[in-house]
Amino acid sequence: MQPLLRVENLVKHYAAGRSAPSKDKFAALDGVSLSIPARTTLALIGESGSGKSTLALCIACLEHPTSGSIWFEGIDVAALDENQQRLLRPQIQLVFQDPASSLNPRWTALEIVSEPFFVQGRFSKQERSDKAGTWLDRVGISRKMVSRRADELSGGQKQRLAIARALALEPKLIILDEALSALDCSVQAQISNLLLELQSSLGLTYLFITHDSAMAAQLADQIAVMDHGRTVESGPAEKILSSPGHGATRSLLAATPRVPETHSVLVDS
Amino acid sequence: MRYFLRRILHAVFLLFGVSLLTFLFSALTPGNYFDEMRLNPQISQATVAALRAQYQLDRPLPVRYLHWLNAVAHGELGFSFAYNSPVGPLLWVRARNTLLLTITATLLAWLLALPLGVWSASRLGRAPDRVLSWTTATLLVIPDLVLALGLLILAVRTGWFPTGGLATVDFENMSPLHKLRDLASHLTLPVTALVLATLPMLVRHVRASVAEVLDAPFLRAAVGHGISQPKLLYGYALRAAANPLISLFGFSVGTLLSGSLLVEVVMSWPGLGPLLLEAILARDLYVVIGGVLLSMIFLVSGNLLADVLLYWADPRIRIAASAK
Amino acid sequence: MTRPRKLTRWLVALVVLHCVVAGAGFFAPYDPVEQDRDHPYLPPMQVHLMDTQHHFHSRPFFYPLRLREGSFDQYQEDTAAAVPLRFFVHGADYPLLGFVPSRLHLFGADGARVYLLGSDAYGRDQLSRILFGGQVSLLAGLFGAGVTLFLGALIGMAAGYYGGWRDDLLMRTTELFLALPWLYLLFALRAFLPLTVSPLEAFLLVVVVIGMVGWARPARLVRGVVLSVKERDFVRAARGFGASDSYLMRRHILPETASVLLTQAAILVPQFVLAEMTLSFLGLGVPEPTSSWGNLLASLQPYSVLVSCWWMYLPAVAIVPFFLGYLGLASALQQRSGAYKIDEQSSWSPT
């Protein structure tokens, strides 16, 4: 059974901007390889700056890699031309970290979720509205909120909105780029439950990018670790979490803050 | 050093661009300019033919441009039909008059703007500052044309100042002191108009820059050391606020030739402005091109000067430049 | 919030001013080209409520002016012949808003012409000429600003969105245009075009020339906005569902430029009105007999007029409230958007 997504030795160089003093290229990705079977969740953990977001953009066909290959359902994405890529993009959707930037703050919730249908151009106004409404219900945004502007919603509601938008065109793969990192703990729990529920009912595949290994532990079937633009370790979640092999993995796992047991002393008095 | 080369290269590029634009305008006008000249009875056919040959109208555009560029580089800016003389000397005389006016006005404006702006910034929000702000705001709302005309009417009705020209009729026969007085009295009106037009913005800029700096910790430290108010304001604050002002100064220098066009025409000051206007009305093309080019050169040089001054005045720019 | 209130105040003031000029036909008592050669250079007439016998009249009236005995240019009121002012009279034809024929004027008089702001060399009513002239000058400013902003937005969008060599080329060109002294450029452009044109052609010429001079600064500003919006994730997301470049530019990027464009409009319109006035004043703009504020001021050029006919200066005064309104509006808009300071504009020139 071929994996839904397979990435092999992906390399992405950015030419330094005109304002940068040196002319050297900056290697955001320096050899990334991973594979995700359908209907599973791969958590990609790594520190900030390890190139995770760049990887997300490349897989979603929003950036061109310098070298390496991306296979989606067996199709070599890099070999496609711009038009073909445009047709492919709806199958792979992104949910970004900061909903303030990923949602147009002036648009209403309904407009935001209807946008994918509008862009695709094959739906009537009524169809768009109906479909958008369905997805909004699915992610738990009440009908009252539907005509509110995005900047009037709470953080959790905004991310639900972002997820609804990502689901609109029924993609096979959803990449969540630090999607829960900006949320409060309780909201995180709600949204991750939503994600799990959606995955099982819709048969989605997730690439879950995070720097928080605890969250990865909750959601992932498999884990891959990135360091300085390279995948340094990957495998089943339990194995990586219990016995990390690479130094980078170990420091990432150790970095999760743990609340000391002594806090209970403060509660009784 | 490389910094300078880059800036000079930039300026040269600008000049080329400007010259190209100017040339294109003249070359692409509807209707052949020389046909119009042929209809003009004041110009002999021989002159037209000679000029046609000289400007090689039958050659393709790029060749004409290069030819023209070459001529300009040698200081040949063409021939004026209205004045029946080469353009160069004509421009030069007028440009001198313009510069006399604008240099006086610019110096005066800056000499007034600096203390006014600094004083205003040091009393930010209080009565003197508010009064000054209101005055500058009012002056800003009044366009140059309105100001110049208003001043002219005032002068005409009171008869206090001569209302046109550079000098009275028997200028040559006056003693040096009288000459100076005569010149000054002729200068008064146009200089006032120019200063009133440019002063408000300058004062605002000085005030804004100095006000920003006055909050800085290093200034408070200096006050703590017991420094006197004037020294604080001028020695420290003004120097720290200098960067945007230096750029502005460069802009002032750049517009020395072009900024006074309207005032010159209204006040009948015999400078580049009225010459340009006459040339346009008389369809004296080469004078127009020459005038535009000259003022363009000034503008570009002004910007270059600002860059040079900034480099010299601000160590941070020197360091950044040498790090490249 | 107090800020929107300030904005609305300026906006309302400007709208009122523009309405007065737009309704020039109604507010002006006479046709601006109607001559009266018997009454050249009349000073403004006073409107009285109290006559020389100290009787109070409820209807305002005026005394026609007669030449003083033995003088060529001194006028005095002819107190024997009081002429009442009437309101909502029928007078000369004019097209309301450009196409609806109407004859209604706010005020007028029977028997003698009332010159509230004096008359010019041909006996034409200055008040009417100023009102109608305002139409020409303001329209030139508005259209010029429109052309400039359109060009600037187009170029700024292309430069910011596509980047690369296109961006470099366009930005170098804007540097070039910003380096040019705009008045000289205006003149140069005007110089190379035919000198005598019909009023309509002149108007179009002025608009196009002005529009082509000032696009550089708006283009840079729009480019700045585009560069920052382009990187926003909602633009990336839209690309993710297959949005085309033109869709992104239209639906996401362009609305973000609105605030910059509006502020620039408030700054540019008065500058361009002034540009038209300057050109017309110097004889390079709208020609007679059409009046514009510029060519009305041109009649001040003869020395005799300058000395004795102060009322010919009034068109210059007419523009000041408009400038004030636009400047206030621009300042309020900039405060609201919290963007760059107004001090970056160093003078009334577009460069």
Are C236 and A165 a contacting pair at CB < 8 A? no
Tokens of C135: 């139409």
- The closest CB to that of B295, out of C173, C184, C341, belongs to C184
Structure tokens given for B246: 């230096």
Q: What is the pLDDT of residue A266?
A: 45
Predicted local confidence at residue C56, as pLDDT: 79
Tens of pLDDT, residue by residue, chain A (269 residues) = 788 888 888 888 877 554 444 445 677 888 888 888 888 899 988 887 777 888 888 888 888 888 888 888 888 887 888 888 888 888 899 998 888 888 888 888 888 998 888 888 888 888 888 888 888 888 888 888 888 888 888 888 888 899 999 988 889 999 998 888 888 888 888 888 888 888 888 888 999 998 887 888 888 888 888 888 888 888 888 888 787 777 777 777 776 665 554 444 444 44
CA distances from B63 to B30, B72, C249 (A): 20, 14, 41
Interchain proximity A115–C238, CB inside 8 Å: yes
Distance between B227 CA and the closest CA of chain C, angstroms? 31
For residue range A99-124, what is the model confidence (pLDDT) as tens digits?
888 888 888 888 899 888 888 888 88
The alpha helices in chain C, defined as continuous H runs, are: 2-22, 24-27, 126-162, 164-179, 182-191, 199-213, 216-230, 233-240, 245-247, 254-281, 293-298, 303-308, 314-337
Q: Are A172 and A204 in contact (CB under 8 A)?
A: yes
What are the structure tokens assigned to C326, written together? 């636009």
Tokens 């909201």 locate to A187
pLDDT at B28: 61
Closest CA to C96 of C161, C35, C189, C24: C24
Q: Could you tell me what percent of chain C has a pLDDT over 90?
A: 13
Using a CB-CB distance cutoff of 8 angstroms, which residues of chain C are in contact with residue A87? 242
> Average of pLDDT values for C216-231?
89
Comparing alpha-carbon positions, the chain C residue that sits nearest to B205 is C343
Q: What is the pTM of this model?
A: 0.80
Nearest CA in chain C to B200: C347
**How far is Cα C291 from Cα C280, in angstroms, rounded to an integer?**
9
pLDDT reported for residue C163: 83
Closest Cα to residue A160, out of A216, A103, A220? A103
Distance CA(C138)–CA(C167), nearest Å, equals: 34
* Chain C hits for A120, Cβ within 8 Å: 241-242
The count of residues in chain C is 351
How far is residue B42 from each of residues B36, B57, B275, measured CA to CA in Å?
A: 12, 21, 19
8-state DSSP, A22: -
Preceding peptide of C44 cis, ω within 30°: no
B contacts of C317 (beta carbons < 8 Å): 146
Q: Can you tell me the distance from the alpha carbon of C119 to that of A216, in angstroms, rounded to the nearest whole number? A: 86
Chain B residues with CB under 8 Å of C310 CB are: 153, 157
- CB-CB neighbors (< 8 A) of C255 in chain A: 106
Q: For residue C139, with 0-12 CB atoms within 10 Å meaning exposed, 13-18 middle and 19 or more buried, which class applies?
A: middle
Q: Give the contacts of C156 (CB within 8 A, at least 6 positions apart).
A: C218, C219, C220, C221, C222, C223, C224, C225, C226, C257
Q: Do C236 and A57 touch (CB under 8 A)?
A: yes
- B13, B146, B299 ranked by CB distance to C319: nearest: B146
Count of A-C CB contacts under 8 Å: 51
Q: Does residue C190 or residue C331 have the better pLDDT?
A: C331
Chain B residues whose beta carbon lies within 8 Å of the beta carbon of residue C217:
none
Strands A205-210 and A41-46: parallel
Joined tokens for residue A74: 């067996």
Closest CA to A38 of A223, A204, A215, A166: A204
Q: Chains with 3 or more CB pairs closer than 8 angstroms to B?
A: C
CA dist list (Å): C27 to A150, C12, C31, C132? 48, 19, 11, 10
**Distance of residue C183 Cα from the nearest chain A Cα, in angstroms:** 34
Chains contacting chain C through 3 or more C-beta pairs under 8 A: A, B
Nearest to C278 by CA among B297, B273, B285, B279: B273
Residue B4 in this model has a pLDDT that exceeds 90: no
* C345: three-class secondary structure by DSSP: coil
Q: CB distance from C302 to chain B under 8 Å? A: no
User: In angstroms, how far is CA B119 from the centroid of its own chain?
Assistant: 27
Give C234's contacts in chain A (Cβ within 8 Å): 101-104
Q: What pLDDT does B321 receive?
A: 66
Q: Do C346 and B149 touch (CB under 8 A)?
A: no
Is A98 in Cβ contact with C238 (below 8 Å)? no
pLDDT tens across B51-97, in order? Answer: 666 655 566 777 777 777 777 777 777 777 677 788 888 888 888 88
What's the CA gap between B192 and B147, in Å, rounded?
A: 10
Q: Which of B149, B255, B261 sits opposite C297 (nearest CB)?
A: B149
Q: Where are the alpha helices (DSSP H) in A209-267?
A: 213-219, 237-242, 247-254, 263-267
Q: Does C227 lie at the interface with A, CB-CB under 8 angstroms? A: no
**Planar angle of CA C3, C9, C13, nearest 5 degrees:** 155
Considering CB atoms only, which of A94, A106, A119 is closest to C242? A119
Express each pLDDT in B221-259 by its tens digit. Answer: 777 777 777 777 777 777 777 888 888 888 888 888 878
Segment C194-201 long-range contacts (CB within 8 Å, at least 24 positions apart): C194/B30, C194/B31, C195/B280, C195/B281, C195/B283, C196/C287, C197/C287, C199/C286, C199/C287, C199/C290
Nearest-by-CA chain C residue for A53:
C233
Calculate helix-pair angle for C126-162, C216-230, nearest 10 degrees.
40
- Rounded to an integer, the average pLDDT of C40-66 is 80
Rounded CA separation A45/B217 (Å) = 44
CA pair distance B246, C122, nearest whole angstrom = 51
CB atoms within 10 A of CB C185: 25
